Amino acid sequence: MKKTVERELEVGAGEIAAALEEEIALGHLAPRERLVEEELAERFQVKRHVIRQALADLDAMGIIVRQPNRGAAVKDFTVTEVEQLYVVRALIEGCAAELIPMPAPASLIHELTAIYKRHCAAIERGDLRRVFRENILFHKTLFAACGNVPLTELIEQLQFKTHGIRSYSVGNPELLASVRTEHGRIIELLKGTSRAELVALVQSHIQPAKNAYLQLSRHRDAAFPPLSRRR
């Protein structure tokens, strides 16, 4: 009976965490926005302990922050934090690209192409939730091909942490068009031997989302400075 209850808690919390993860990544929940347990419990029609577990999962992913007596809120990043995160992302994702066999196996090309087509179709439909999920799967599949499990796990952890940063660009038509083009180019490069070009593209591919976040967050901070910066 105890194991059944624990399993139900795990499934329920996991589904809620995934739903909130999407909403943060799509910008439906903005940086600094509070996540109130009572409101979430009513919305998802679950007990508060299920919500607490979901929030704990998101906290572990680095997507939200929880503070004693202040509750949970969507993670906000300073300019310095964003710059530092993306320096690390560029380094480790470039490292993974260095390790991917080239020319890549036909099975990898086939899998990435299938994801690419679904991603493009989701963009055409305006299905941003599917765009988000297929984009994650594209990069997860790409970097898994490097064969270094600790490296791919670190890449995934940092990608989770930057969901809120990428939310500022996910619905931008120009940036989505650019992402689609670059995904197609990555697949083409994997068929050849130009590793330097692949590494450079992988590293530059993540920069537009960072730049969009920094630009918009500066405007937001000018209008509504964080409490820690107010006098």
In whole angstroms, what is the distance from residue 74 CA to residue 33 CA?
A: 5
pLDDT of residue 218: 64
Which class is 2-76 in CATH? mainly alpha
The full set of domain ranges for the chain reads: 2-76, 79-218
pLDDT of residue 167: 75
pLDDT of residue 220: 58
Long-range pairs for 154-157 at CB < 8 Å and ≥24 separation? Answer: 154/92, 155/89, 155/92, 155/93, 155/96, 157/61, 157/62
Q: State pLDDT tens for residues 148-159.
A: 999 999 999 999
Q: State pLDDT tens for residues 99-129.
A: 999 999 999 999 999 999 999 999 999 999 9
Check if the beta carbon of residue 79 is closer than 8 Å to that of residue 211.
no
Architecture of domain 79-218: Up-down Bundle (1.20)
Same fold flag, 2-76 and 79-218: no
CA pseudo-torsion sign 18, 120, 154, 191: positive
CA pseudo-torsion sign 42, 13, 61, 90: negative
pLDDT of residue 221: 57
| 3-state percent breakdown (helix, strand, coil) of the chain, nearest 5 | 75, 5, 20
pLDDT of residue 100: 98
Task: Dump the DSSP string for 43-111.
Answer: HHT--HHHHHHHHHHHHHHTSEEEETTTEEEE----HHHHHHHHHHHHHHHHHHHHHS-SSPPHHHHHH
Residues in the chain predicted with pLDDT less than 50, given as ranges, are 1-8, 227-231
pLDDT of residue 6: 46
